[in-house]
Structures are given as structure tokens and as C-alpha cells.
Structure 1
């Protein structure tokens, strides 16, 4: 005989699952005991279940294998929610196994009882509770198959008494093969080609759905002489060696991307569901290629949609396209991008504030000569491995990574780019490192994000996960500060009273490094990346650093000026009252 729990773990192992993330608890005991005796699946016990869900989602995004996390009865399962929402919005398959009260107590408002099927209804493509032995392995199969085929979250709740119940020894679960890519309809390709061929200026907006179609994407841009705006998630695989790309749009974007979008006649969207409506150009003919039909036209008005895999669609489209001889559109966009990049590079020089222009600027935005965050990101980019995996907290950490870290060679990139959660970078780095501890994993952490889940620094130490946590320590919720100031509001509620985070790291068992001197930044980054264990690099950065949107409006500029004036006056009032 076998148990339900043993069958679950053995079935997941055959699927390729190597790690299960979670916090142990009574209802999970049969399952964690099955993992204890497994030779193929490792349990990684975290300090907060949110970390478990983020880590499982990160592992799934990187490996393509189902991510698995667990939470026990009630509060333990509730803590999974934020990380599971990130998996949902990242379209990656994750199975959350939740403990439940004993089956005879379900529905009696028992201690810690929560209706998991209702709780997870919005986040999950499948959410069911096992209420009888006869439902297994069928509910496990349905959960996993739903997660894999719909690329989403499945939640299976198992009461402890059922998890420990016996099944016939040969009982096993069988899972479906993942669906094959969708080809494009020939008529749709011919119609799109006719529209593109009739236009003199075409711009491409390319997302992560096209990352596996690099060759076809570049061939299309070359044939159309089209500048290419990349979404943040498309940097991986499409940025390096791309003579057509002009960076990102949106809040993290640049003027060249805005120019490329506004000056085209036809916008060709490939594999992207870029969400920010305000950054799409108006009055253009839009052709959108996406494997998910409901993505077509939900962000901007689309003249023609092609529901297909990006690689198959572009392979079919390329022979139908005319070669455009006029290079002026792509040349103008690229020249603007190169000029902007040159200006950004000067800010990344640690010696920037010691030069004439830097001295003048620093009087306004860096009077105490703190390390500029641009310099941190640039130093990491220079020294990191060509196979490094990067994770980034939502907010200013993502801005600096997007502008200064190049996804060259085999580099990978993860973040909460769709959900926009705080505190994702460190947990995602743990999930990445567990897949391959020999591979360099670097997390760009905000001080606010890191301190939210600070306890899981201990997880990196306990499981010898050699993550490099680079903390942009500006004692601020930096993106919120910027949003307030652009709206004309003085900064409020964003100041963080941080401890010495390097000391905290050392107390937890990491190698802690703190750097406050711009002249010592490069050597500190080199030391952190060379260390063979987990590292917390605490970089004290300039809290007044400004990241201007690519097309700042007059209202935003006026709001920023108004906010700064209010801040100065409030500071003066405080000084007067303390005299």
C-alpha cells in the first residue's frame, strides 16, 4: 500500500519537480514526510509562505517545469496569495498544495478553517478540496493539467487525514502533454503583409512572447527597416546584439522609444500585452500577433489581430513582406537612442559628481554626494557573469536595471513586472538559485522590498543558496516618492528608518558589505560577486535621484517643481520650530 501523500510526491517527481517550497504544519505532515523520504524532491522550508510562492513561480518561469509550493491550514495558505497572484499574472504554471482541517470538520467553522476554494477562486484556474479518498489521483491530475495547459495557478487542498490515507501501491497520476504552438492562418498573414507593405514607416513593439523567435524578429526588423521597442521582459533574448532596438517605453522608457512609436504609420506588436495605454501612439494602424486570443486589442485599438505563436507567425509572414530601402525611420530612432544612452552613461560614472556639470547638478539632487543608483547598476552589469540571472524589486530598482543592465549572452531576467508587487526580488532569487546553485543569481533589491520579507535571508543561509542581494538603500520608498512629487505633492510616508542592512545580513549568516563611498563601489561589487556564498551588498544611494519619464508632460514637470518647493518650505518650518 501507499499513501495519498506519497502518490502526490512521486507523481510530481516524475513530472520533473525538484523542489517544494513552504512552511511545515500539521495538515501538511503526511506530505512533508513523503518529501523527507523522497530521493528526487527536496523540501525548502521558508520563513514566510509568500516567499515560497514567489520562489516556486520564479523556478517555473526559468525552467518551464511546474512550480510547487505549500501552505498549511488557514493562515499558512493565506500567506501564499501574493506570490500566487504574481504567478498568475506572469502566466507560469504553479501548483499550491494547501492543508485543510480534518475532512469531518470541514464546514463546521473549525479552528483555523478557511474555505480555500473560495479564497483562491480569483487567482487560480483550478481550486478544489479533496473530500474523499476516491477523488485521488483524479483531482491531482486535473489540478496539474489545468496549471500546465492554461499556464496558471492550481490550488489543491488536502485535509491531513486524507493525505495520510492509504491507496493501492500502483496508484499513480498521469498528466497531459503541454499544447503545441498555434500556427497563423494564411489569410491573416496575407492581409497583414499587404498593410505593412503599403506603409513607409513601421515600428515594432516586441514582448516576451517573441523571445524564442529572435531570428525571425530580427529578420522582420531588417526587412522593414523598423526600429524595435522592447518591453522589459523582452530584454532577455532580444536586447543583446540587436541593431534595431531602442529600449523600453512606459515609465521606465526613453525618448527614442517614444519617437519610434509616434512617428510610424504601422505598429507591429509581436508577443506583447504591454499594459500602459497612455504610452501607445494614437492614429496608427496596429497589427498584433499573440498566441492568446483575448490579448488582441485589449490595450489599444487593433486593425488586425493574428492569433498565433510568434515564431510560426513571423516565419509565415517574412516571405510576404517587401524589403523597405528607406532607412531614415530606423536611423533617426537609433540616433536618438544612442544620444540618450550616452547621457545616461555619464550618470553611471562614480566620478560624475566631481566634474563641473556633476558638481552643479549635485547641488540640487545630491548635495551629500551619496552613491548614485545608476553607478550601482552599471557596476553590476560590468562585473556580472554573462550567464547571470537577475531579479528586480518593483519600483526604482527595476528602473536602474532596465537602463543599465544588458541581457547579453545567457542572462535571464525575472521580476514582478505584471503584478507589480513589492518584496519579490529576494524570494525569486532563492527560487532561481535552487535550480542551479553554481549559476550566479543577482537580486536588485529596494530597501523597502527587502525589509518586508527580511526573515528569508535565513533561508539563503540554511539551504546554502549563494544569492547576491544588491540593496539600493536610499531610505525611501523611491517610486512612491517620485509619484507624489510628479503629482505636485510633497513627499510623505516614504522615509524608511533602516538599520545597517549589511550588519543584519551578517547576523543572519550572509557575507555583509556596506558601501557609502562612490570611490569604493566598484571594488565592493567585485567582492560581492566573487564571494562563494550568499551576500548582502548594502549600497547607500542618493534618495533624491530623479528618473524622468520618456515624455514628461508639462503638468508632471510643474507638479515636480511644486512638490520640491513645498518640501523646502516644510523643511524650513520644521527648522524654525526646533530653534
Structure 2
């Protein structure tokens, strides 16, 4: 069969159900093959960067390889931003791009760029397919490499190769790849000994703890440990739990910092990043992660390289009969009440004036379902969500280490395509929305229904705040925005503009109850530097 047909049938056998991309000259033969079958849906995006973000978001939600595509030259270059997000957050994404004809390789042909060098820094495998007989082997290698390394693999297929015949056999399945790492019993037992001795333990839960929700809660209660939660860890344990103290860092709580200052042991479960500047000197740290690259060079660190679930099951047996320090538990419960009072004060608004972003986050908390997916953009509103959103069992979806703007809308599209029955919401800033604004048309075209909540303050708020914090005069941060509601309506999306507190709750309820997409343009205030210093515990060195 032709390579284009082989590629399509092999991906379908490996349970690929969506390919995100933008049409272009070098992949036209493959698009022709995709259009003649019904097992794989081609999600036509407006920009290749958004296509790669969608693939990355799908991989974050499933843990399985997701696929995106683009043409040669500018199409491939446009994929880089979304692929970098997958690479940095360690999720399996396969990028299949077109390339110029085999006889044009290395020359000055239009839209030619040496793609392996271009994608090398953000991929584990990248190659050019210049022979139809190579397609089977390299496609298999790309998937296995991506799954094994939890990252990006890339195939550039020459345009003329798509239409040539291959004898490569179709493989019914991929080899099973176990993501877990065998625990070292000595490491686990050494860490357990430290846990048994601790009188004032504190937990930090990250995205790697999501698959061990029940075990994390049991551990915290047996230890009597306070619980800090990263943005990726939101939903691991409901924030109403009396041991939960909010987050750590710019979006964290004052109570969490106080607990950290008093603790005698810091236990990190599945968190690959945390603001190290907040750690008191000399504090003992036990960190569990299956990825050795996640461990930080702390002088008092005990590292356990293993799956969090496996380690917790062993620790729980060792902790049988251990009684928590009641004085420490009482202190954590007291600080928990302080956190709730902090967030209650954040939500408070005088009268019916301009909206604070914290008030919008509170309205979101009231409107959203417990099991919803919340797609977040990168910006000031991400900090407020991290600090002020009282999660129950929601799943946040965001650009973690890459932190690209423009992520929320493509991520929400992928989440809704993946599970149409699950509630999804996109929370975006005015700057982030305009980076991928055209994907509103993708929402309409794919007939997706979810709310798009825009926090509109006319500035790149986090950048403006940081410039002021560091003694600079803000410049290049203020934005002149369009009327987002009218713009959404031009795309065929229902919209409302909210300028005052009294309008917010009704607009949120309408957006979340709608069976069609709806954009809510919420005009927010920009906090002053004094307010930000008071409300966000920030250290410049973090």
C-alpha cells in the first residue's frame, strides 16, 4: 500500500483517534488518505502551535501518545512552541511533518529546513523518512521512544514518499512499556525511618501524586502532616481537608509558609518543581519521584526513585500503630482555618464595583463541577487560581515548565474532544486569549460546548507587577483590547460582558449550564503593587 495509507492504518491500529494539524503542501497525500477513512479524526486547527498544544494536552490527560502534524518549513517551525510544552512536561507526543521531495533535500528549495536539527533540543528522536521501506521501522521507533522517555518523537516524511508503495507490515499493537521504576528497598526503608522520627512533618503533593490520591490522604492522616499542594496537585486531596494549607510560592498561602518554617521534615511526592528559596536552611527533605531528573540538589535530601504508589504502600505498613503528634495536628488545623480566612478575605468585594480576579475565581469555584477539567493559561490569573480556587476533585490542565501563553483554549479543545461528557472550562487572560484567538473557530467547527472565562484587565499583569516589584517602570505591558464578546459572536459563540460583581454569578451559571460554547468577558481590576505585596507571599529570589 502507499505510505500515506500505511501510516493511517498503522496509527489506527495503535489506537490513535485524533490528529491535530493544519493542511499544507508537503502533507497533502496524507490528508487525502485521512479523508477516506473514519477511524481517525483530523482536527483542523488554525495554527500549528495550537495543534501541538492540543496533542500535548491530550497526552497529559491520557498518558498515551498523541499525534500532531504540519507541513514543511513554516508549518514545522510553528509546531515548536507546543512541542516544547510536551517535552518540558514529559508527555508522549508524536509530530509527523511533511518535508520537501527527496531530490530537493539539502538544497535551497522553498520551505526547506533541516528538521532534525530544528527539533533536536526538544525531542528524544527525530529523523527524515526518505525511503518508503523505512516507514514501518521508524514509526515504531518513534512511538516506543516517546512512550519510554515520556517526550516528543518526530518524523519528517518527504512529500514524494507519501505516494510511494511500501511493503512494511502492519503491527497490531505496540510493546508494553512499564512506566514504573523498581524501588530500592534500602532507599524506601531509610526514608521510612526518617518519617517515623518526624514530629512536625509537612507534605508537598504534585502532579505525580494524582494516581495515588487515597494513599496520599492516608499517609498525611497517619503522620499528622500538614499538606501543601502544587498547581498540578490540585484535586489530589480536597482543600476542605483540615490538614490542607494551600500552595507554596507566589500563588501559595501565608499559613503554608508558616508551617514550612516550623516543620522538621518536608516530604515531596510527585512534584518536579517547587520554589526552593522558601525552604528553611537545614530542613530535612524526603522526595519521591519515578524521574531521577526531578530531584533537586539539596544538602539534606533523601531521594527515593520509585513510583509514588509503590512507596506509599510500603510506608503505610511501616507506619501501622504510629500515633501522630497531636500538638502538631492541632497547629495544622489552626493554620488550615487561617488559609480559609485568607481566601475568604480575597473574595470580599465592596459594593458592586469593578471585579477583583480573586472574586472571579470564587465564582468559578461555585459554578464548576467537582470532576471538571480546568484548562488554564499562563499569567497573573494562574497565580490567583493556584491560591484562591478551593479544589475538590478537579483536574487542572496547564503549561507547567514551559509556561507558554495561549495554552488554555487549545487544551480545553483537546480535553472536550477526548471526553465530550466531562465538564471542561477554559480560564484565560486577555493576553493569552489573543495568542490563539483563531481557535475559537475550531471550537465552533468541532461543535464543542464549554465556557471560556476571560479575565480582562488590559495588561500583561504578571509582567507589569514583576517590573514594578524590581524597581522598573512598566513598559510594553498595557494592551488595547477588542470587544471580546462581540468578537466571539462573530465566530458564532454566545458571549456576555461582565463589569460588576452583581452580574458575575448569573453569567457564570449561564455559561456552565449552556449546551453550546460561551465566552464570558470579565473586566477585572489590576491590583496595585501594595496589594500584590500584601496578598501574594513573594520572594524575588524564588
Give the TM-score range, shorter chain.
Answer: over 0.9
Question: 1:514 corresponds to which residue?
Answer: 497
Query: What is the TM-score of this pair, normalised by structure 2?
Result: 0.95
**1:423 Cα deviation from its structure 2 partner:** 0.9
Residue correspondence of structure 1 range 249-264 to structure 2 within 5 A: 249-264=248-263
Secondary structure of 2:303's aligned partner: strand
Question: 1:353 corresponds to which residue?
Answer: 350
**1:550 Cα deviation from its structure 2 partner:** 5.1
Question: 1:55 corresponds to which residue?
Answer: 54
**1:465 Cα deviation from its structure 2 partner:** 1.6
Question: 1:274 corresponds to which residue?
Answer: 273
Change (3 A) 1:30 1:302: farther
**Counterpart contact for 2:133–2:168, Cα < 8 Å:** no
Count, aligned residues: 537
In the alignment, does 2:509 pair up with 1:526? yes
Unaligned runs of 5+ in 1: 356-368, 557-579
Determine the C-alpha separation between the residues in 2 that align with 1:263 and 1:76.
53
Question: 1:291 corresponds to which residue?
Answer: 290
**Counterpart contact for 2:284–2:300, Cα < 8 Å:** yes
- The correspondence for 2:311, drawn from 310, 313, 318, is 313
In the alignment, does 2:184 pair up with 1:200? no
Determine the C-alpha separation between the residues in 1 that align with 2:280 and 2:205.
15
Secondary structure of 1:491's aligned partner: coil
Question: 1:380 corresponds to which residue?
Answer: 364
Determine the C-alpha separation between the residues in 1 that align with 2:193 and 2:204.
19
In the alignment, does 2:392 pair up with 1:408? yes
**Counterpart contact for 2:408–2:426, Cα < 8 Å:** yes
Determine the C-alpha separation between the residues in 2 that align with 1:308 and 1:29.
45
Residue correspondence of structure 1 range 146-157 to structure 2 within 5 A: 146-157=145-156
Question: 2:228 corresponds to which residue?
Answer: 229
In the alignment, does 2:412 pair up with 1:429? yes
**1:240 Cα deviation from its structure 2 partner:** 4.9
Question: 1:17 corresponds to which residue?
Answer: 16
Secondary structure of 1:268's aligned partner: strand
Question: 1:359 corresponds to which residue?
Answer: none
Name the stretch that deviates more: 320-329 or 370-379.
320-329
**Counterpart contact for 1:56–1:94, Cα < 8 Å:** yes
**Counterpart contact for 1:141–1:174, Cα < 8 Å:** no
**1:170 Cα deviation from its structure 2 partner:** 4.8
RMSD of aligned alpha carbons: 1.9
Determine the C-alpha separation between the residues in 2 that align with 1:203 and 1:102.
58
Determine the C-alpha separation between the residues in 1 that align with 2:62 and 2:431.
29
Secondary structure of 1:301's aligned partner: coil
Unaligned runs of 5+ in 2: none
- Measured against aligned partners, the alpha-carbon deviations of 1:88-109 in whole angstroms (never above 9, x if no partner) come to 1111110011110001111112
**Counterpart contact for 2:463–2:477, Cα < 8 Å:** yes
In the alignment, does 2:393 pair up with 1:394? no
- The correspondence for 2:474, drawn from 480, 487, 491, is 491
Determine the C-alpha separation between the residues in 2 that align with 1:65 and 1:88.
14
Name the stretch that deviates more: 455-464 or 393-402.
393-402
Secondary structure of 1:120's aligned partner: helix
Secondary structure of 2:10's aligned partner: helix
Change (3 A) 1:194 1:171: closer
Question: 1:576 corresponds to which residue?
Answer: none
Change (3 A) 1:397 1:121: same
Secondary structure of 1:229's aligned partner: strand
**Counterpart contact for 2:455–2:522, Cα < 8 Å:** yes
Change (3 A) 1:27 1:174: farther
Question: 1:418 corresponds to which residue?
Answer: 401
Determine the C-alpha separation between the residues in 2 that align with 1:396 and 1:169.
51
**1:292 Cα deviation from its structure 2 partner:** 1.1
Determine the C-alpha separation between the residues in 1 that align with 2:335 and 2:200.
17
**1:190 Cα deviation from its structure 2 partner:** 1.9
Determine the C-alpha separation between the residues in 2 that align with 1:63 and 1:180.
13
Secondary structure of 1:237's aligned partner: coil
Name the stretch that deviates more: 522-531 or 397-406.
397-406
**1:122 Cα deviation from its structure 2 partner:** 0.6
Determine the C-alpha separation between the residues in 2 that align with 1:166 and 1:552.
60
Change (3 A) 1:552 1:233: closer
Query: What is the TM-score of this pair, normalised by structure 1?
Result: 0.89
Determine the C-alpha separation between the residues in 2 that align with 1:79 and 1:173.
32
**Counterpart contact for 1:17–1:65, Cα < 8 Å:** no
